[in-house]
Amino acid sequence: MLNAADIDALWLTVQVASIATVLLLLLGTPLAWWLVRSPSRWKGICNALVALPLVLPPSVLGFYLLILMGPKGVVGHITTELGLGTLPFTFTGLVIASVLYSLPFVVQPLQAAFAAIGERPLEAAATLRASPLDTFFSVVVPLARHGFLTATILGFAHTVGEFGVVLMVGGNIPNKTRVVSVQIYNHVEALEYEQAHWLAGGLLLFSFTILLFMYGVLKTQSVAQPFK
């Protein structure tokens, strides 16, 4: 069965993933909107940057984060100046790494959802003298709700599934950076297969269920098109 350290790791994972998901939505929403609406010529570069974690091995991301956030790195200098210390081996560092790592999984579904809305609803709202902010919250958000749902689920699930980056910047500290994927890896390496099975099997079931839910809900709802 699960021991106390396993439960700690699970609880920590839930905390990291929840906080990262909230931050991802706050950051990803304006970013995705800008990427869809803006005529800026920087868009191509931004799109490429956002998509980088999809193709980069976590070892690359982890390596650069370790250096950047370390005492000799640019980010490390700034955080030390701010009195925060350096971020590797901390819960905050882990959340920041997760946000970067899961960014495309949140931004891309939102981008797709925003793009699918098209001009007409926005023009209609404008003729009714809705402010841009009002338009966004009363028109765009409801219309893009599937996008938000997908983004939330993928952002959360992908953060739960994060391993390589955590291994490199985490330092395997109980209750701070030892998340469930690292705990499973430790069990496997220590040949504690029974313990590993409990966690690994649980994670498999969780991931499948959450994806099944996502595809199930989206399948039944995406047929409904409010402007037809």
Partner 1 sequence: MNFKALTTVVSALSLFLVSSSSEAASTLVAVASNFTKPMTEIAEAFEKSTGHSANLSFGASGKFVAQLENGGPFEVFLSADEKSPKKLAQDGFAVADSQFTYAVGKLVLWSAMPNYVDTQGQILTKGGFKHIALADPKLAPYGAAAVELMQNLSVYDTLQPLFVQGENIAQTQQFISTGNAELGFLALSQVIENGKLANGSGWIVPATKHKPILQDAILLKTGVENPAASALLKFLKSPEALAIIKKYGYDLTEK
Q: Which residues bind partner 1 (CB under 8 A)?
A: 66-67, 69-72, 85-86, 88-89, 167-168, 171-173, 185-186, 188-191
Q: Toward partner 1, which CB reaches closer, 190 or 204?
A: 190
Question: CB of 169: closest distance to partner 1 in angstroms?
Answer: 8
Q: Toward partner 1, which CB reaches closer, 106 or 165?
A: 165
Question: CB of 42: closest distance to partner 1 in angstroms?
Answer: 31
Question: CB of 94: closest distance to partner 1 in angstroms?
Answer: 12
3-state secondary structure 165-200: HHHHHHCCCCCCCCCHHHHHHHHHHCCCHHHHHHHH
CA torsion 7-12-15-20 (nearest 10°) is: -140
Question: CB of 71: closest distance to partner 1 in angstroms?
Answer: 4
Q: Toward partner 1, which CB reaches closer, 150 or 177?
A: 177
Q: Toward partner 1, which CB reaches closer, 73 or 155?
A: 73
Question: CB of 222: closest distance to partner 1 in angstroms?
Answer: 42
Residue 120: CB atoms within 10 A of its CB come to 9
Q: Toward partner 1, which CB reaches closer, 43 or 77?
A: 77
Q: Is 184 exposed, middle or buried (0-12, 13-18, 19+ CB in 10 A)?
A: buried
